[in-house]
Copies of this chain bind each other. A is one copy, B any other.
Amino acid sequence: MLFAHENGRVIPKEDKIFAINGRAKAMIAEEGKENVINATIGALLDDNGDLTVLSSVMKALGTLEPVDFAEYAPIGGTPEFKAAVEKALFGSKRPEGEVRVCATPGGTGAIRSVIANYSEPGDKVLTHDWYWANYKNIAGELGRGFETFAFFNEEGTFNADDFEKVLAEVAGQQDSIVVIINTPAHNPTGYTLTDDDWRRAIGAMNDVAEKCRITLFIDVAYIDFAGDEEKARSFMPLLTGLSENVLTVFGYSASKTLTLYGMRCGALVCLAKDEEAAEEFRQVAEFSARATWSNCTRAAQVVMGKIYADPQLEAEVDAERETIRDMLLERGKAFEAALAEEGVQSVPFDAGFFASIASDDPDAVSAELEKEGIFTVPLAKGVRVSVASISKEKCVKAAKAIARVVKG
């Protein structure tokens, strides 16, 4: 007997990434972790395959009182959390505009909320053709359609022309549109939009915004692993040049910044041109929160608040994070170089947790690699390798195997 309604969604028997990860774990149990490369995990692991946790963050967590764990947080988040997110997100690059913060369970919750509130059922959400597969699930769960533009041109840089073209097409079909751009340190490729890329993207949005209001959702989940903090935020002041018909909303992942993935601590942050749009944001984001997950994990909010209210602690956390960020970058660059040595181009990698290789048949490539004990994630346009979860040595080994499989 079956009871559920698909409601237009495509529901797989199992989540693909988690299923592959399950098979990787089974093989590790059987053949030992030195013989398996599990490049599926979106969390930072050290070279031994153990989770990297910032000890300075854990120290802060250790100072919490029982009530910090037990008490409900306000729907939108504690005031200290909101202030911390604003500080952490913008750094020294806060653009002009009205800012409001609403706590969400991780980045996923933030994406869910922006789509639920700024599009209508049946609308298409627009993003790049290299995308985190869950974007499509989230849109589908909400009865929204999905459209993509080509993220890269033939030079391997941001394809502003295709963005312009597809945006104009979709904008011609609906009254409003949610545009999702994942940068810096894009998941799944590691690409970071340059300031010039941003100027082109902003121009394209301003061109259509008079006829079709735009909500620009910038997914900055990996911003604190994207190299120098200032440089990673250099695009922010450019957003001031957006038309008043564009509302900017950021998805920020405190879980990632603090390596507290399991505490589900993210935020949706609006940067509005006026108070009316900002207050509307607060109302709808809080309503959706209340009617979907209610409030978010208080303990993580308290930790976030403590860190960003204490310059010494903040500096300690930043310094510790810098070490892992450098490790990440070294792994990614080694992966890219090893591929190049074999005559295969990876999709451009600047920084972050992931690198990718283009393929016409990602499922076949991923399956072939699995036979050799290399677990990757097949996406629409290629195969994703989490450099965050494997050592530099394994990055090189994986790159060589991938080159062999891709070249056939």
A interface vs B, CB < 8 Å?
1-5, 7, 9, 11-15, 18, 42-43, 51, 53, 55, 58, 61, 66-75, 105-106, 108-109, 112, 116-121, 134, 137-138, 140-141, 143, 176, 213, 215, 244-245, 247, 259-264, 272-274, 276-277, 280-281, 283-284, 286-288, 290-299
Contacts and interface: CB of A to CB of B under 8 A. Distances in A.
Nearest to A137: B291
B2 A280 contact: yes
A75 B291 contact: no
B292 A141 contact: yes
A45 to B, nearest CB: 10
A42 B72 CA distance: 9
A118 B286 CA distance: 25
A299 to B, nearest CB: 7
Contacts of A213: 3
Contact of A66 (B11, B58, B287, B293): B58
B138 A291 contact: yes
Nearest to A293: B105
Q: How many copies does the complex hold?
A: 2
B4 A141 contact: no
Given A3-B247, A18-B75, 11 more contacts: A1-B277, A18-B74, A43-B71, A51-B70, A51-B71, A55-B66, A61-B69, A138-B292, A141-B291, A141-B292, A264-B297
7 contacts: A1-B274, A3-B277, A51-B67, A71-B261, A72-B262, A116-B141, A141-B291
Nearest to A294: B108
A108 B293 CA distance: 5
Contact of A287 (B11, B67, B116): B11
A111 to B, nearest CB: 9
Contacts of A280: 2-4
B66 A53 contact: yes
B117 A4 contact: yes
Contacts of A293: 105-106, 108-109, 112, 264, 292-293
Contacts of A106: 293-294
Contacts of A294: 105-106, 108-109, 134, 264
Given A13-B283, A53-B70, A293-B108, A263 B298 contact: yes
A247 B1 CA distance: 9
Contacts of A9: 287, 291
